[in-house]
Amino acid sequence: MERMESMCDKDCPCNDGCPCQEPATMKACILRVCCCELLVCDLSTCQEVLVHTENACCFQVGQRVCIEYSGAMTMSIPPQISAICIKPLNHCGCNCC
C-alpha cells in the first residue's frame, strides 16, 4: 500500500497543495462483496481493509484490484477507506489506477 502520511492537524492551514490531500493506492485481493462495500486484503501488508464504494457489486471474491483513495484510513478494526476508483489488476499486476 502506498500511503501518504497525514501531515495535517487541526492547526494546519491546508490548501490544494497540502500533501495530506494527495490520493494513495492499494493493491488488494477481494475477500467479501457486500452492498456498497468490499472487504479486501492489502497485498503489501496482508491487512484486511473495508472499502466503501458504490461500485461494490461490479467485483467478485478472489479478484485482485487496485484501489485509489484519499489516503485517509480510519483506525477502526478493520480499518476503513472510501474509494475514489477501483480497477481490476491484470494478470501481471501492472494495470493500476
Domain-located, residue 42: yes
Number of domains in the chain: 1
pTM: 0.73
Domain-located, residue 30: yes
Q: Which residues contact 61 (CB under 8 A, 6 or more apart)?
A: 30, 31, 32, 33
Residues 55, 86 contacting (CB under 8 angstroms)? yes
**Domain range enclosing 48:** 22-88
CATH of residue 52:
2.40.50.140
pLDDT of the residue at 86:
97
Domain-located, residue 45: yes
Report pLDDT digits (tens) over 42-78.
999 999 999 999 999 999 999 999 999 999 999 999 9
